[in-house]
Amino acid sequence: MSRRLKLYTTAARYDLVEHSRNRFAMLLIALYIPLWISLAYVAIPDRAAPLHLRSTGQHLAPAGNELTQITGAINAVTLITGFMMFAATFTGHRFDRRLAMAGYPRVHLIAAKATSLTLTSAFIAAYAAAVTCLSWTPKQPLQLAAALFCAAMTYGAIGVILGSVLRREVEGMFALIMISVIDVLLPNPLWSSGADSSLIRFLPSYGTSQAATAAGFSTTPTPGHLAIELMWFTGAALLALLTFHRRTRNVHHKEQRAALSWRWRPTSTMAAPRK
């Protein structure tokens, strides 16, 4: 095994182990996702909910409980993935700084975090899509899973950003919850009268909401709206990369300045020679 591959494998393994140790997140995946999706199907009436689906241009009337299940799946996936990446970044940023100070390549650290985010998002999205399919059969289950995956990736990157810039855990959790509530619930026509507003297009999960709804109730693929969600992920990922780069770069500069200051201090404090 080459040195670069070994460094990457070691960092990726550490990130995945760190996620697996988050027992609360594991409990949320095992219980919260099926509970939320099942309650949405049972508690919400199954009467038709007319809507205009912009991604396909169709006028649909899906059952209200099935539509709410899709919204609940998006909400659960985004919250849990965002929470996991925020927790890993918030608790591990000091360790990352020490690794960078010790000379560990930042490229390998970034690649490892991207790998853990991708695997985590894929697992949670597939699990949520499978739970949804237990109640009814979406017309495009693979596109539903892909839409949930894209949303999970976006919120995972947002979690990394919040974990890098916020100082307290409660701030990050509150920010994630508020962002997800506004982002996911506004497009739902059952809960928001402004679901057809043009402003909805600027929400982070707009592409996922359109693609997932089309996957549930239409046979028309909507790759364009999956691409919109991937654009949101790309922007969030670049911002997360900049915060990581800035934090580790500042560490290097501070260490260099401290080393230079220590090196020249004995000279500046040397006593003058006697005559």
What pLDDT, on the 0 to 100 scale, is given for residue 194?
A: 47
Is 128:208 a contact under the CB 8 Å cutoff? no
Q: Which of the given ranges, 2-6, 33-37, 271-275, has the highest pLDDT on average?
A: 33-37
How distant, in Å, are the alpha carbons of 16, 33, 48, 261, 264 from that of 270? Answer: 52, 68, 86, 15, 10
How do residues 204-213 score in pLDDT, each as one tens digit? Answer: 988 999 999 9
d(CA 72, CA 40): 7
How do residues 93-121 score in pLDDT, each as one tens digit? Answer: 777 778 877 778 888 888 889 999 999 99
Q: Is the dihedral of CA 109, 112, 118, 122 positive or negative?
A: negative
What pLDDT, on the 0 to 100 scale, is given for residue 15?
A: 86
Classified as helix, coil or strand, 22 is coil
User: What are the structure tokens assigned to 134, written together?
Assistant: 């237990």
Most distant CA atoms of the chain, gap in Å: 101
Q: How confident is the model at residue 271 (pLDDT cuts 50, 70, 90)?
A: very low
d(CA 23, CA 225): 34
Which stretches of the chain are DSSP H helices? 3-20, 23-27, 33-43, 64-101, 106-135, 141-165, 169-185, 206-217, 223-268
Q: What is the mean pLDDT of the chain?
A: 83
Strand duo 58-60 + 51-53: pairing: antiparallel
d(CA 7, CA 223): 36
User: What kind and span of H or E run contains 52?
Assistant: strand 51-53
111: closest CA among 14, 226, 251?
14
- For residue 256, is pLDDT > 50? no
How do residues 184-236 score in pLDDT, each as one tens digit? Answer: 777 766 655 445 567 788 889 889 999 999 999 999 999 999 999 999 999 99
User: What are the structure tokens assigned to 177, written together?
Assistant: 């919850």
pTM of the model: 0.85
Q: Which residues of 164-186 are buried (b: 16+ CB within 10 A; e: fewer)?
A: bebeeeeebbebbeebbeebbeb
Higher pLDDT, 164 or 236: 236
- For residue 36, is pLDDT > 50? yes
